Amino acid sequence: MGEFSAEEKEAMKAEAGIAACNFVKDGMMIGIGTGSTVKYTILELGRRIREEGLEIAGIPTSEVTEKLSIEQGIPLVDWTECSALDLVIDGADEFDSNLHLIKGGGGALLREKIVAESSTGMVVVADASKQVEVLGTFPLPIEVNPYGWEQTQRRIQAICSGPVVRRGPDYLTDNGNPILDAHFGPVISNPVEMEAQLRSIAGVVEVGLFTNTADVVVLAAPSGCEMIRKENARL
């Protein structure tokens, strides 16, 4: 959706990340996503805790998010203390009109999906460059088991129209797994079906397609911020 300068993108990310904090209320247990837009959400939550006395607790989706959240004074818990979340705020690499997402460009897709599926509502923060008609221009991240990853790559390649490449020879997620980036170039016509098909391959740990999880997209564009809600949104 259009071309934007680096400065415009950064300003839009900040606007969306801060606006998403309007969904956060006292007493909430929230999932804290990962990425360059969620960074601004974390900074704003930290400000509200310090200046407004906001009382929340969070579960981070990555070590990077955990570090920044601690620096900002956001109380964190783990899954021994929490069985469900009131809300998750996370970013996206792409989203379509059905609010299906491609996520995982930052490598945190497994933890992000665990958190998203444990929440009663999901807010996605994005700038206008992430809005697409059809998913697939952004390479689809797929987290795989280290054992036999080459064979898993071959099986994914058999159903992928473009190259399936490992993300760096030494790159591993926080869970110790490689990521394969699958180039569907540029059409994933049925994200729900593709997610199920990829997850059925032995060795695939998680797929960066998030279907039927997002409720609201907080979309920042040069003209301002807007909320895009799914018809049956939980929020």
Candidate list 44, 112, 143, 206, residue with the active-site label: 112
- Is residue 195 annotated as part of the catalytic site, yes or no? no
3-state secondary structure of 43: helix
Of 67, 6, 25, 9, which is closest to residue 42 (Cα–Cα)?
A: 67
* Pair 215, 119: CB distance under 8 Å: no
**Residue 105 per-residue DSSP state:** T
**Residue 67 per-residue DSSP state:** H
- DSSP state letters, 75-91: -B--TTS-S-BSEEEEE
Cα separation, 189 vs 207, in Å, equals 16
3-state secondary structure of 182: strand
Cα separation, 24 vs 210, in Å, equals 22
Write out the H or E segment, with its range, that includes residue 89: strand 87-91
For tokens 């697409």, the residue is 132
Show which residues are catalytic.
112
